[in-house]
Structure 1
Amino acid sequence: MGQHSGIGVLDKTVAILAATTSGPAALADLVERTAIPRATAHRLAVALEVHRLLARDAEGRFVPGPRLAELAAAAADPLLERAAEVLAWVRDTAGESAQLYRRDGLERVCVAAAERAAGLRTTVPLGARLPLTAGSGAQVLCAWEPAETVTQVLAQAEFTERVLAEVRRRGWAQSVGQREAGVASVSAPVFGRGRRVVAAVSISGPIERLGRSPGQRLAPILTAAAQRLQAATS
């Protein structure tokens, strides 16, 4: 279960929370990922749901809850403080779900999101960890990385160095069915000091609505959003 504080119930609660960061988890998944007895895992997960630290997806599986975003926003992180406003603008302007990702090793983590209110949508739970090997967000987070990192990612990636060079040239990325069948996305880099990419701001939705060249329509919205977020990092 990772580190131990000496307070058993707290350690188990943190383990339950951590178990959902690798993807939606049914009760059986929580038990497998934490080795916590089923009855205890269920009791803790339901309690966390009451406090909105966990939530349920459409299939009833546990996912990180909205309270985590609220707590994160309260921390001294200027980028996250600005993200809620900017992602809401992206969602309302584009009419699609918007996300903000940060790189963590060879994964990307959804650190903020603004979901489309109605209709067919793609939901990326807050705290979700996705591979750095597929999707427009992954392309953006890789494109400006050092060569050794890019080489490590490309060994298993669904995109090529040529694709990353194009991302650097035009300043945004798009993917169609690359990470998940039926889903398209567009992403733009958020630069910090020294032209280091600190995050990727993204739009995702079904291909039938975004089309097979979503960047043509959505990239201007995302690059404008990235500039707004960049102001918070400088």
Structure 2
Amino acid sequence: MRQDSGIGVLDKAMGVLHAIAESPCGLADLCERTGLPRATAHRLAAGLEVHRLLARDQEGRWVLGSAISELSAHVNDPLLAAGATVLPRLREITGESVQLYRRDGTARICVAALEPPAGLRDTVPVGTRMPLTAGSGAKVLLAFSDLATQQAVLPTAKYTDRTLAEVRKRGWAQSAAEREPGVASISAPVRDAKGSVIAAISVSGPIDRMGRRPGARWAADLLAAAEALTRRL
């Protein structure tokens, strides 16, 4: 959930960062997402680009910049430390992209990601913010969230409360062409020492390789990775 610090320019700059973290965008889209005037949005984005918090892709759209990753490398986060060991192994086993997501209100944020060295892949940059309305990672995080959050998300979600009940029962979720056309994924919850779900670990890739029911192939390996993360925490 967004916070208001009382420092207007800082709050606006953070709004720009969060908007671009959702997906790459140009100035028109940035203005629409933030509600900022064109001149203000451009000035803030250009300033963030100078500090490498934003960069431009090949189409000239703003994306999160390298300074985001550089700063995050200095964060003492037990989940990221555990993921640095577990995620490479899961990528090696599956040959697909792997991610860690945390919930932030009614959204999820990618906090760690690795891609296969070659071939078609599902790229989710660290820092990407997505709604909880679609995707296997969203289902896992929402299934173990509080009732108020579930009630806020489900009316516009691409799945139902019955789906969430199934996720809680079997311990993992899957999706095919739900978050993005042509992409399939499978996710499982990561728990802390008290048993609370603090993240979702995911494997994602082209449907042509993963199939429309990726759980049939990767559920056991994913659950083992989730358990390994929980043990390290």
Q: For residue 169 of structure 2, what is the aligned residue in structure 1?
A: 169
When the two structures are superposed, what TM-score results if normalisation uses the length of structure 1? Answer: 0.83
Distance 1:141 1:13, change over 3 A: closer
Note if 1:156 corresponds to 2:156: yes
Q: Is the 8 A contact 1:188 1:223 kept in 2?
A: yes
Q: Is the 8 A contact 2:18 2:129 kept in 1?
A: no
**Secondary structure of 1:81's aligned partner:** helix
Distance 1:28 1:220, change over 3 A: same
When the two structures are superposed, what TM-score results if normalisation uses the length of structure 2? Answer: 0.84
Q: For residue 40 of structure 1, what is the aligned residue in structure 2?
A: 43
Deviations 1:78-110 (A, max 9, x none): 112222332222222211111111111111111
Q: For residue 101 of structure 2, what is the aligned residue in structure 1?
A: 101
CA distance in 1, matches of 2:60, 2:84: 26
Deviation at 1:159, TM superposition (A): 1.2
Deviation at 1:3, TM superposition (A): 4.3
Structure 1 stretch displaced more, 61-70 or 168-177: 61-70
Structure 1 stretch displaced more, 112-121 or 56-65: 56-65
Deviation at 1:40, TM superposition (A): 3.3
CA distance in 2, matches of 1:156, 1:57: 30
Segments of 5+ residues of structure 2 without an aligned counterpart are: none
Q: Superposition pairs for residues 131-146 of structure 1, below 5 Å?
A: 131-146=131-146
**Secondary structure of 1:25's aligned partner:** coil
CA distance in 1, matches of 2:76, 2:209: 37
CA distance in 1, matches of 2:5, 2:147: 33
Deviation at 1:41, TM superposition (A): 4.6
Q: Is the 8 A contact 2:106 2:131 kept in 1?
A: yes
**Secondary structure of 2:122's aligned partner:** coil
Deviation at 1:57, TM superposition (A): 4.3
Deviation at 1:166, TM superposition (A): 1.7
Deviations 1:160-200 (A, max 9, x none): 22222221222111001112221111001001133211000
Q: For residue 75 of structure 1, what is the aligned residue in structure 2?
A: 75
Distance 1:95 1:117, change over 3 A: same
Percent identical among aligned pairs is: 51
**Secondary structure of 2:17's aligned partner:** helix
Q: Is the 8 A contact 1:73 1:81 kept in 2?
A: no
Letter in 2 for 1:17: L
Q: Superposition pairs for residues 1-234 of structure 1, below 5 Å?
A: 3=5, 5=7, 14=14, 16-30=16-30, 33=34, 34-35=36-37, 37=39, 40-41=43-44, 43-48=46-51, 51=52, 53-57=53-57, 59-233=59-233
How many residues are aligned here?
A: 228
CA distance in 2, matches of 1:176, 1:55: 30
**Secondary structure of 1:223's aligned partner:** helix
Distance 1:43 1:203, change over 3 A: same
CA distance in 2, matches of 1:146, 1:42: 35
Q: Is the 8 A contact 2:49 2:55 kept in 1?
A: no
**Secondary structure of 2:194's aligned partner:** helix
**Secondary structure of 2:82's aligned partner:** helix
CA distance in 2, matches of 1:207, 1:66: 30
Q: Is the 8 A contact 2:121 2:206 kept in 1?
A: yes
CA distance in 2, matches of 1:156, 1:92: 35
Letter in 1 for 2:119: G
Indicate the RMSD between aligned Cα atoms, in angstroms: 2.7
Q: Is the 8 A contact 1:182 1:207 kept in 2?
A: yes
